Amino acid sequence: MSDNREVNSIQNNPDPNYWRSFEELYRNEKTLKARHHEFAEGVTDDFDPNENLSGISRRKFLALLGASAALAGVACSDYRDKGEIVPYNVKPEEIILGRPNFYASTCTACANSCGILIKTREGRPIKVDGNPEHPVNQGKICAKGQANILNLYDPERLQQPLKKSSTGFDNIEWKKADSDIIASLSMAGSKEIAIVTHTITSPTFLKVLEDFKAKFPTTKIYSYELFNSSARNSAWTKCYGSGNFPLIKWNEAKVILALESDFLGVEGNRVENSRMFAEGRDVNSKSFNRLYVIESSMTLTGMNADYRMRLKPEAQFAFVMSLINELNRKGAISASIASNYSLDEFVKKNNLDKERVNHLLNDLIANKGKAIIHAGDLMPENVHIAVNILNELLGNKNLYRTDSASVNLLNLSSLDEVKELTDKMRNNQVAVVIHLDCNPVYHFPNDLNYKELLTKVPTVVTLTERMNETAQFSSYILPLNHNFESWGDSKTRTGVISLQQPVIAPLHNTRQKESILLTWISTSPDTYTETLYHDFLMKNWETNIYPTLKSRIEFKQLWFGALHDGFALTNEAGQNFSSINLTGLNLTETKFNSEAMTLVLRESYQVGDGRFANNGWLQELPHPVSKITWDNYAAISHNTAKALDVQNDDLVEVSVGDRKLTLPVFIQAGNADNTITIELGYGREFSGIVASGVGFNANTLLSSKPEFSQWVYTNATIIKAGGKYPLASTQEHHAFDNPRIQDLHLKRHIIQEGTVALYEKKSDFIQEHRPKELESVYTPFQYNEMKWGMAIDLNKCLGCGDCIVACNVENNVPVVGKDQVLKSREMQWLRIDRYYSGSPDDPRVSMQPMLCQHCDQAPCENVCPVVATTHSPDGLNQMVYNRCVGTRYCSNNCPYKVRRFNFFNFRDHFRDGYQESSILTLMFNPEVTVRSRGVMEKCTFCVQRIEEARSEAARKGIPIKGTDVKTACQEACPTNAIHFGDINGKDSEFYKYRNHELGYYVLEELNVRPNVTYIAKLRNIHTEEL
Amino acid sequence: MKKSLLDYILRNRLPLTVFIIISSFTLTYFVSRPERDGVGYTPVQPINYSHKLHAGEMKIDCKYCHTNVDKSRFAGVPAVATCMNCHTVARKDRPEIIKLTQYYRDGIPLPWKRIHKVPDYAYFNHSVHVNKGIDCTACHGEITQMEKVGQMNSFTMGSCLNCHRNAHDKFPELKDQIKKGPEYCSACHR
Amino acid sequence: MDRKKFFLSASLAAAGIALFKYIPFTSARKNFDSKKVEVKINPLAVSRKKVGEKNVG
């Protein structure tokens, strides 16, 4: 009480001058009481020191922490563990780990059978190049041959024999398939056994077929090609008695007139043609041929013409006849067969340039015996006959090669013979149809109804590497070995017989088509062994071929020597040509209407007749003329487009009779008016994930009863179909110029050109335009020792794109797919820029391969925040992938825009990770890093080859020379337009080009000091100005 | 109350924690560097092969087994068949040799534990070094004294460059044969 | 701020991101890997070490 009172007295009777609240002032009971408690009421109600606390004490917590750390440390493996290193059990003696082996073989991607050298590492083929010793292709192969290696490792190759069932296809054992098929063959009786195949180029395979025919007498062989020289063959038979037309000495021709002939692009052995043609245009020997091209659509050959004129294909016959008449009138030749043709009228009627035609006439007259007129395979027989007559009258038979002639082992079947087959199929006269690695359901004209007729044949067997349209409708699908897994031989020329050897044992459960047939001939499935065809081949060589070679060494030595070389030379006489038998030659005119639409169907530069549709590299290779990837299109001239009121990417419907096709349109500069050009080989079905949905199948427009020619239809129509379809072209991506400014490439001196006449008068005219001393902020580095440089001769560059595919293979460049190409993200390190100048009707075309220029003062090097790109003391701009963080500042600074950025892991992105499948990892070049997402890449001047040459030189103890290294693009270029070497190597070929008076650099005025010298293109025209 | 707790965490605890983390990391990084690079890593191999016996006492040349070292980028490890060159007869009753012969008979390649590995983005070339006269022991240590092979060098880019830059000091006897080793990136990084 | 709710939503977000990145990468992919492929050199083939060499005249 007294406390209370005390408390009361101090606290309850506070100094009246200091109070904290009214409650206190007025002595509120509750307030005064509350002062005794630390916390307000109810606040600490849920606080229980023993509750809400973790069950783990601090001590326990620390103990747990330590224990788990220790456990983690123990459980993890040794962080220093570097895995295992596993050598061979028994090392094959030919392998030196890290060094490649080369195997000579023959490419069977098309009927040209070029000799190849396959580079293998540890038993895996990784790169294909031409065989330098092979007399036909002399070390070069085309883009399709380069990309063929992807077909070997294609994850979608057939790996097991298949038999048709109600639900699709089931796996079947080889033994079972063989015995079933042998039974069907043996029970064929009097009914026909039809074998359908592409061109037969192998003499030994022909022998197998003959044995097959002997065993099964009702066998008939039908060989076909979608694009063939049948018109030329029949013309030659009529003219000279034999269908074997000659090869041309393109390198000795001073004047070449190509009539609808794409001899540099798709006709004949284009690799050989290109090499020989380029030999005739040399800035060092100062000899230049003159190329006249008269065609309906812009082709690779047309892009390289000195004089080009547009003419519809059906007018070519009248043109040749008019030429004959005019030359006769001028007294240059003596011929009366063309008396009712007038060149003047023709020129007027078809709007040809009078001056150019006059130049042509004068050149043909002045170069009798040194000129050649060549008509393309698409042309009908009468054009070829007329051209033969003209060539003979002008004495141009001089340029027919007599040292070597093409050899035809088995004539292709005519359309009539194929029709006979379909008739027999319709009448149930065919028991078995065997498709040997061909695709008639896709290739044959639809009106033959081949697909439906196949259902009437009891047994349809398709031998193929991958699923295709024909295999889809077969009873048995037997998977074949790839070219690189097969034995074989090939004879396409006199004088040489090529050998094919496998560089790898079959990757899957596949067999060679020859072995399969041999098994069937023996009627016992057990006959098959892996070396069945090898033994047959060797036997055939020993008995039939070796005696003809008249060799001085015994057979076994010759055999192994021939396998090593890839071919054996035979001593065969060439070919001679008598005179044309003019009597009996019925030259019928073809009527044409210049107002009607003409449809021209051509072979694709990228996928051939369609057989490479599943090859991503080829699909992504830009078309040499239009630079379009992943699609085909209807190419029309810009006048025709205006008349139709269509723009690029609009859909149009092209029809011939009742056959229709809707596809996008592309306005092609330099196309003849009222002509539609479509490339075949697209619109494939059942052909793999890469090919599906790509392009449009224009084979539906083919007819089995063509009036003019199998590939040219003069009664076509085209209407606007409405809708758009984006075409992925790479050309517009790298343009930095304002499209309103024409000829910017000339104004900026990116393309510098001249004429032969100007060069002869004033040889340093290019040097005049080059900028004089350019000042520099830095002191330039003195390159006194080896410095790498490249020179590209634009006179020889045809724009074919073989270099691009070779670079892709060598450097593990990924395929990105159409959607990424549309965003200009294609990953090719090398591109060929194509510029037009002049009018859209009659453009002049310039090509320029563009790659990293390895600038001495590279603008990309000083902006990298992580120093991922630097310069080496031998002149290379280096790219260090592991440092790159993906800033992309370097690409921003590059004036040439040659740096490619991995926006995605494209291998993972394209087609659901198709390129990530483990079998494709076998194809990578082990010397080149496989880049992933976020890393910048660009041409490295094949630094892996440079370092390999360096190590070789160190091994031999000699200094490295500029000629030791050949870049992949240089190796692949069929015309040898690319030169690479040491700029300080004074006695090298490259030095001549580096310091050539026609040499210039692109965008030199920027003072980045590029190291790729471009030799200016000289057009061989009659004036000094272009 | 909550505000001051967060404030306390950010102004007091956080910098302190960060400082402790960074300093302990830095210290252990440098102290453990050689070990992390693998110096001294001497794993147990599937077969107890002794270089000391073969290369040291019997004086078999390195190149008898590691044949590719002067021809290619990779030195390589000998195939089982190379061992069997001698061991079909030599000491064929010893337990390790019996293990070896078993591998050979079964056709299984021997999975040796890898000791020397440079990252994949560095393309090291043995033949250039060997052909210039540099001895194996310069980088791999005294193999001829090792019962079990261990990694004697850190094989970091720094150690490679150190030798490249001071080649004449490291190899005075090769002064006439070798220049400075390459310092530019693409010699190894491509 | 509710600390529990913060951590819950943060971890849910992380799990969601991980899940959505995982789904397109594994389930929507066609498996191109078939059975193991063996690389074997054909013993009857003849190789060479250099590019430009000829054996038989």
Give whole-number Cα distances, A234 to A157, A379, A383, A579, A879, in Å.
38, 12, 11, 16, 57
CA–CA separation, A94 and C46 (whole Å): 9
Q: What is the 3-state secondary structure (H, E, C) of A374-437?
A: EECCCCCHHHHHHHHHHHHHCCHHHHEEEEEEECCCCCCCCHHHHHHHHHHHHCCCEEEEEEEC
Chain A: residue whose CA lies nearest to C26: A912
pLDDT at A735 > cutoff 50:
no
Task: Please report which confidence band the pLDDT of residue A76 belongs to, taking 50, 70 and 90 as the band edges.
Answer: low
A902 to chain B nearest CA, in Å? 16
Does A89 contact B109 at a Cβ distance shorter than 8 Å? yes
**Would B177 be classed as within a structural domain?**
yes
C4 to chain A nearest CA, in Å? 15
Report whether CATH 3.30.70.20 matches the domain A733-773+784-1019.
yes
CA–CA separation, A92 and A771 (whole Å): 58
Taking one residue from A and the other from C, the number of pairs with CB-CB distance under 8 angstroms is: 103
Share of chain A above pLDDT 90, in %: 74
A99-157+482-576 — its CATH code? 3.30.200.210
Does B72 contact A97 at a Cβ distance shorter than 8 Å? yes
C24 to chain A nearest CA, in Å? 9
pLDDT at A616 > cutoff 50:
yes
Backbone angles phi, psi at A485, to 5 degrees: -110, 10
Sequence-distant (6+) residues with CB within 8 A of A426 are A453, A456
- What the block records as the tokens of A830 is 């090398």
pLDDT of residue A734: 38
**Would B87 be classed as within a structural domain?**
no
> Best residue in C27, C29, C48 to probe A by mutation, most A CBs within 10 Å?
C48
Does B190 contact A943 at a Cβ distance shorter than 8 Å? yes
Task: Please report which confidence band the pLDDT of residue B11 belongs to, taking 50, 70 and 90 as the band edges.
Answer: confident
Does A501 contact C28 at a Cβ distance shorter than 8 Å? no
CA–CA separation, A82 and B112 (whole Å): 11
Comparing CA positions, the residue from A326, A310, A402, A401 lying closest to residue A364 is: A326
> Best residue in C27, C39, C50, C53 to probe A by mutation, most A CBs within 10 Å?
C39
**Would B26 be classed as within a structural domain?**
no
CA–CA separation, A830 and A971 (whole Å): 14
**What single-letter DSSP state applies at residue B10?**
I
A597-729 — its CATH code? 2.40.40.20
Burial of A674 (0-12, 13-18, 19+ CB in 10 A): buried
pLDDT tens by residue, A678-725: 999 999 999 989 998 899 999 999 999 988 899 999 999 999 999 999
What's the distance, CA A638 to chain centroid?
A: 28
**More confident site: A985 or A264:** A264
Task: Select from C41, C44, C50 the Cβ nearest to the Cβ of A123.
Answer: C41
Task: Please report which confidence band the pLDDT of residue A34 belongs to, taking 50, 70 and 90 as the band edges.
Answer: confident
Length of chain B (residues)? 190
Tell me, what amino acid is at A956?
Answer: K
Chain A: residue whose CA lies nearest to B44: A81
Does A940 contact B120 at a Cβ distance shorter than 8 Å? no
pLDDT of residue A47: 65
Instruction: Give the least confident one: A45-59, A535-549, A761-775.
Output: A45-59
All residues of chain A having their beta carbon less than 8 Å from the beta carbon of residue B77 are 85, 87
Does B80 contact A878 at a Cβ distance shorter than 8 Å? no
Range A60-66 average pLDDT: 85
pLDDT tens by residue, A487-523: 999 999 988 999 999 999 999 999 999 999 999 999 9
Tell me, what amino acid is at B171?
Answer: F
All residues of chain A having their beta carbon less than 8 Å from the beta carbon of residue B110 are 86-87, 89
**More confident site: A996 or C3:** A996
Does A919 contact C46 at a Cβ distance shorter than 8 Å? no
> Best residue in B28, B115, B186, B188 to probe A by mutation, most A CBs within 10 Å?
B186
Residue corresponding to tokens 């040219």: A712
- The neighbour count for residue A699, using CB atoms within 10 Å, is 24
Q: Where are the alpha helices (DSSP H) in A770-846?
A: 802-810, 818-821
Task: Please report which confidence band the pLDDT of residue A733 belongs to, taking 50, 70 and 90 as the band edges.
Answer: very low
Task: Select from C29, C37, C52 the Cβ nearest to the Cβ of A919.
Answer: C37
Give whole-number Cα distances, C12 to A70, A734, A944, A949, C16, in Å.
30, 45, 48, 56, 6
All residues of chain B having their beta carbon less than 8 Å from the beta carbon of residue A951 are 73, 125, 127-128, 131
Strand A290-295 versus strand A307-310 pairing type: parallel
> Best residue in A89, A884, A924 to probe B by mutation, most B CBs within 10 Å?
A89
CA–CA separation, A845 and A301 (whole Å): 11
Range A48-62 average pLDDT: 74
Range A452-480 average pLDDT: 95
Does A558 contact C46 at a Cβ distance shorter than 8 Å? no
Task: Select from A101, A505, A917 the Cβ nearest to the Cβ of C33.
Answer: A917
Query: What is the SS3 assignment for C40?
Result: coil
Domain limits at B60? 39-77+112-187
All residues of chain B having their beta carbon less than 8 Å from the beta carbon of residue A84 are 111-114
End-to-end CA distance of chain B: 59
CA–CA separation, A680 and A698 (whole Å): 6
pLDDT tens by residue, B39-72: 888 999 999 999 999 999 999 999 999 998 999 9
Burial of C42 (0-12, 13-18, 19+ CB in 10 A): buried
pLDDT tens by residue, A651-661: 999 999 999 99
Is residue A590 a contact partner of residue A380, using CB atoms and an 8 Å limit?
A: yes
Range A731-749 average pLDDT: 64
Domains of chain A, by residue range, sit at 1-86, 99-157+482-576, 230-405, 597-729, 733-773+784-1019
Give whole-number Cα distances, A678 to A281, A527, A665, A702, in Å.
31, 47, 10, 12
The H or E element that residue A372 is part of is strand A371-375
The H or E element that residue A650 is part of is strand A650-656
Q: What is the 3-state secondary structure (H, E, C) of A531-553?
A: CHHHHHHHHHHHHHHHHHHCCCC
Chain A: residue whose CA lies nearest to C48: A102
Range A74-84 average pLDDT: 76
pLDDT of residue A607: 95
pLDDT of residue C57: 41
Backbone angles phi, psi at A1012, to 5 degrees: -110, 110
Does A503 contact C42 at a Cβ distance shorter than 8 Å? yes
- What the block records as the tokens of B99 is 């293990």
Is residue A766 a contact partner of residue A752, using CB atoms and an 8 Å limit?
A: yes
Query: What is the SS3 assignment for A164?
Result: strand
- Mean pLDDT, chain A, whole residue set: 90
All residues of chain B having their beta carbon less than 8 Å from the beta carbon of residue A88 are 79-81, 109
A89 to chain B nearest CA, in Å? 4
Sequence-distant (6+) residues with CB within 8 A of A357 are A309, A343, A347
pLDDT at A5 > cutoff 90:
no
Comparing CA positions, the residue from A367, A248, A391, A373 lying closest to residue A316 is: A373
pLDDT of residue A737: 43
CA–CA separation, A215 and A219 (whole Å): 9
Comparing CA positions, the residue from A757, A566, A669, A480 lying closest to residue A141 is: A566
Angle at A586 between CA A583 and CA A587, to 5 degrees: 120
- What the block records as the tokens of A16 is 């009246």
pLDDT at A471 > cutoff 90:
yes
pLDDT at A275 > cutoff 90:
yes
Task: Please report which confidence band the pLDDT of residue A16 belongs to, taking 50, 70 and 90 as the band edges.
Answer: low
Strand partners of residue A978: A792
Range A141-145 average pLDDT: 95
Does A954 contact B127 at a Cβ distance shorter than 8 Å? yes
Which range among A241-245, A254-258, A952-956, C30-34 has the greatest average pLDDT?
A254-258
pLDDT of residue B20: 92
**What single-letter DSSP state applies at residue B82?**
H
- The neighbour count for residue A14, using CB atoms within 10 Å, is 15
Sequence-distant (6+) residues with CB within 8 A of A338 are A321, A322, A324, A325, A328
pLDDT tens by residue, A561-570: 999 999 999 8
Comparing CA positions, the residue from A958, A984, A950, A939 lying closest to residue A782 is: A984
Give whole-number Cα distances, A460 to A193, A471, A518, A910, A1012, in Å.
10, 9, 18, 35, 56
CA–CA separation, A344 and A354 (whole Å): 8
Comparing CA positions, the residue from A25, A24, A44 lying closest to residue A34 is: A24
B68 to chain A nearest CA, in Å? 7
pLDDT at A14 > cutoff 60:
no
pLDDT at A951 > cutoff 70:
yes
Sequence-distant (6+) residues with CB within 8 A of A625 are A298, A299, A300, A303, A668, A799, A834
Task: Select from B123, B132, B189 the Cβ nearest to the Cβ of A954.
Answer: B132
Does A96 contact B71 at a Cβ distance shorter than 8 Å? yes
Range A47-63 average pLDDT: 74
CA–CA separation, A540 and A529 (whole Å): 17
A100 to chain C nearest CA, in Å? 7
The H or E element that residue A175 is part of is helix A174-186
All residues of chain A having their beta carbon less than 8 Å from the beta carbon of residue C4 are none
Instruction: Give the least confident one: A97-106, A146-155, B2-11.
Output: B2-11
- Total of domains in chain B: 1
- The neighbour count for residue A736, using CB atoms within 10 Å, is 8
Comparing CA positions, the residue from A1020, A1001, A819, A1017 lying closest to residue A909 is: A819
Burial of C34 (0-12, 13-18, 19+ CB in 10 A): middle
CA–CA separation, B71 and B111 (whole Å): 24
Range B83-93 average pLDDT: 90
All residues of chain A having their beta carbon less than 8 Å from the beta carbon of residue C56 are 551, 553, 557-558, 561-562, 564-565, 568
pLDDT at A745 > cutoff 70:
yes
> Best residue in A93, A97, A788, A950 to probe B by mutation, most B CBs within 10 Å?
A97
pLDDT tens by residue, A897-926: 999 999 999 998 888 888 888 899 999 999
Residue corresponding to tokens 């272009």: A1026
Length of chain A (residues)? 1026
pLDDT tens by residue, B23-46: 999 999 888 888 788 888 899 999
Q: Which of 3.40.718.10, 3.40.228.10, 3.30.450.20, 3.40.640.10 would CATH assign to domain A230-405?
A: 3.40.228.10
CA–CA separation, A119 and A108 (whole Å): 17
CA contacts within 13 A on the Cβ side of B167 = 17
pLDDT at C29 > cutoff 70:
no
pLDDT at A464 > cutoff 50:
yes
Task: Select from C33, C45, C54 the Cβ nearest to the Cβ of A501.
Answer: C45
Chain A: residue whose CA lies nearest to B70: A955
Cβ-based interface (< 8 Å): residues of A facing B: 78-91, 96-99, 870-874, 876, 878, 880-882, 927-929, 940, 943-944, 947, 950-951, 954-955, 957
Largest alpha-carbon pair distance within chain C? 90
